[in-house]
Amino acid sequence: MSNPLSRRDLLGWCGAGALGLAFLPALRRLAQAAPGPAARADRVLIINLAGGVRSSAAFHASSKRSHNPWGLLASGTTPFALGNLLDDPGPDGTYEFAPVAEGPRPHPAALDGVTLPRFRAMASAMSVLGTYAQERGDHLRARIEEPTGNATGAAPGILTRIGAGFAATSTATGAPAFHLAPAAQFGAALGGLTRHVPVSLAGIGSIPSAANALPAWNVATGNGFATDESMRDRLDAHAVAERHSVGKQVTETLSFHRRAARDIGARLANDDFALGNAARDEAALGTVSLGSAVPLTNGILKAIFHKGKPFGSQYDAYADNLALAVRLLQIGSPAVTLETPTFDFHSGEAEFGPPLYRYFARTWAALWWLLGRIPAGNGGTLLDRTLVVTMSDFGRDPGSEATGFNPGLGTDHGADHACFYLAHAVMGAGVRPNRLVGPVDTESYNATQSTTRYSPQQLLVTILDALGLDHLDEQWGLPGVGSPIQELWS
């Protein structure tokens, strides 16, 4: 009480905290419209490489042992060097879905004979973007600053900005933004932006479907006893009318979220989102081109992302969330984030790092392959209309010259330039492939010596710009942090 909240702060924290439940805003009542003429995309998919990826050993890899003890991947003519720890040969050197002559079928019949690409085979179809910020050093700050552009925690996250921008410009695609349980602050919101925070899902277990396998998964977000929209509005109007001043505004926000939760909850309750129930593996949404157009079933989605998966529940969750993310993009969500298992290897990186890096590379290649085969309804594919980009906390310190690791066979983060440089994988939405944008000298990763240096805030601005949203708008944009990175397209 010695430091009382302002009225604006109270509204913000009531919205972002008390209302930060499983299903928050949906913008389904907004007018339906195509993205503006400047938009390169109508969707963005952000894969958060949790804990701090070792950029110096992955997408913009060094030949120095201290930065990259695994060596370089022979990836053809890519202008960015890739680390050998990204190679994804699979247990038998391939990712083919072999036809089954007899016995139990491990994958849907539609995938018989399909071979998924290896990462090294598709690497030239993506680009790499380097950003540099020397203010970071700890996870808490990074998980706030990377998705918000501000280190204080008082700024809205990128998904909130997208939701607010689409609402104001009436370019909503019929579904809200979603984040799949990231630790980073992608959905922060204060004050008037509170209603645009994304829907948070812990994974396929959070889907409010009666078809889900466990009763505990049935979160009560359906229509309930209110039989139609007008009845729900009357119930909410009564609740709002009973409040005044700050309480009235908080209740109005709560009312908005209640209505939105019912709407989107009803959609997610359909069988095509029952990814946790094997009995619903035949449920389909849209089609995928597998030589010819075939229904895109839950089973196909799960099989593609589980193929070649290392052992461990964290990989199961990541594979399932990738399948869920594709479904959310299909129903028109303008922004989805999901989180990988943690890359924060202060020890044990030598042993446990490669399986994670390799599986990320495999799923990235599978995502490129799959999105490029799903029609987007406008003559193109989901890959044509979706900007796909990685984020992370920061890079990692180099290890010793002798081993490339610290004494615990891991890496740390702190004051080295390699910590402040972060290489992002980027693809889709017309991004020019096979380019290195914002490079640094891989001997030191000291971007202060580079002719061109991009900030993490400029990546956020670029995402808004790609979606046709004015990044200079004071409500949802980021004025004053720099221009969009047009080099990704030019």
Lookup: tokens for 52: 């701090």
Q: So what's the pLDDT on residue 325?
A: 97
pLDDT (mean) for 270-277:
91
Q: In the structure, what pLDDT confidence band is assigned to residue 241 with cuts at 50, 70 and 90?
A: low
CA dihedral 153, 156, 157, 161 (to 10 degrees): -170
Of 63, 61, 57, the closest CA to residue 78 belongs to 61
Look at strands 82-83 and 199-201 and give their pairing: unpaired
- Does the pLDDT at position 258 exceed 90? no
Residue 296 phi/psi, 5-degree rounding, is -85, 100
Beta strands in 261-404 (DSSP E): 284-289, 293-297, 335-339, 386-392
Interatomic CA distance for residues 32 and 44, integer angstroms: 18
Across the range 431-447, mean pLDDT stands at: 95
Query: Average pLDDT, stretch 443-470?
Result: 94
Q: What is the pLDDT of residue 251?
A: 58
Q: How confident is the model at residue 6 (pLDDT cuts 50, 70, 90)?
A: very low
Structural element, H or E, at residue 49: strand 43-49
* Cβ neighbours around 430 below 10 Å, total: 15
Predicted pLDDT of residue 231: 60
Residue 409 lies in a domain: yes
In a domain, 421, yes or no: yes
Q: How confident is the model at residue 223 (pLDDT cuts 50, 70, 90)?
A: very low
80-99 pLDDT, tens digit each: 999 999 998 776 778 999 99
Residue 358 counted as domain residue: yes
Task: Give the separation between CA 165 and CA 262, rounded to whole angstroms.
Answer: 22
- Tell me the Ramachandran region of residue 143: left when phi exceeds 0, alpha when psi lies from -120 to 50, beta otherwise: alpha
Q: Please, what is the average pLDDT of the chain?
A: 84
Summarised one tens digit per residue, pLDDT across range 120-152 is 999 999 999 999 998 888 999 999 999 999 988
Mean pLDDT, residues 6-26 taken together: 34
Q: How many CA atoms lie within 13 A of 169 on its CB side?
A: 26
Q: What is the pLDDT of residue 101?
A: 81
Q: How many other C-beta atoms lie within 10 A of the C-beta of residue 247?
A: 12
Check residue 477 and give its pLDDT: 95
**pLDDT level of residue 21 (50, 70, 90 thresholds):** very low
Residue 222 counted as domain residue: no
Examine residue 269 and state whether it is found in any structural domain, yes or no: no
Average pLDDT over residues 380-408: 96
What CATH number is attached to the domain comprising 163?
3.40.720
* Interatomic CA distance for residues 1 and 11, integer angstroms: 17
Query: pLDDT tens across 26-48, in order?
Result: 333 222 233 333 579 999 999 99
Q: What is the pLDDT of residues 314-355, one digit of tens each?
A: 999 999 999 999 999 999 999 999 999 999 999 999 999 999
* Range scoring the smallest mean pLDDT among 183-197, 317-331, 439-453: 183-197
Number of H helices, E strands in the chain: 12, 12
| The pLDDT of residue 418 is above 70 | yes
Helices 456-466, 139-148: axis angle to 10 degrees equals 30
Number of domains in the chain: 1
> What does the DSSP assignment read for 16-27?
IIIT-SSS----
452 pLDDT more than 60: yes
Share of the chain above pLDDT 70, in %: 79
Give the pLDDT confidence score for residue 209 in this predicted structure: 62
| Euclidean distance between CA atoms 148 and 163, whole angstroms | 14
3-state secondary structure 141-206: HHHHHHHHCCCCCCCCCHHHHHHHHHHHHCCCCCCCCEEECCCCCCCCCCHHHHHHCCEEECCHHH
- Name the region of 103 (left: φ>0; alpha: ψ -120 to 50; beta: rest): left
Asked whether residue 254 is assigned to any structural domain, the reply reads no
Three-state DSSP state, 368 = helix
Q: Is residue 55 part of a domain?
A: yes
The pLDDT score that the predictor gives to residue 324 is: 96
Residue 121, classified by CB atoms within 10 Å of its CB into exposed (0-12), middle (13-18) or buried (19+), is: middle
- The neighbour count for residue 480, using CB atoms within 10 Å, is 8
> Where in the sequence is the domain holding 59, given as residue range(s)?
22-207+284-488
pLDDT surpasses 80 at 291: yes
Calculate what percentage of the chain has a pLDDT beyond 90. Answer: 62
User: Does residue 347 form part of some domain?
Assistant: yes
| Nearest C-alpha neighbor of 48 from the set 320, 340, 333 | 340
- Which pLDDT band, with edges at 50, 70 and 90, does 203 fall under? confident
Query: What would the mean pLDDT of 440-445 be, rounded to a whole number?
Result: 95
Cα Rg of the chain (Å, integer): 22
Q: Output 414-417 pairs: Cβ under 8 A, ≥24 positions apart.
A: 414/137, 415/137, 416/445, 417/134, 417/444, 417/445, 417/446, 417/447, 417/448
pLDDT for 195: 78
Q: Report CA 260 to chain centroid distance, whole Å.
A: 22
pLDDT at position 11 over 50: no
The stretch 206-226 carries a mean pLDDT of 50
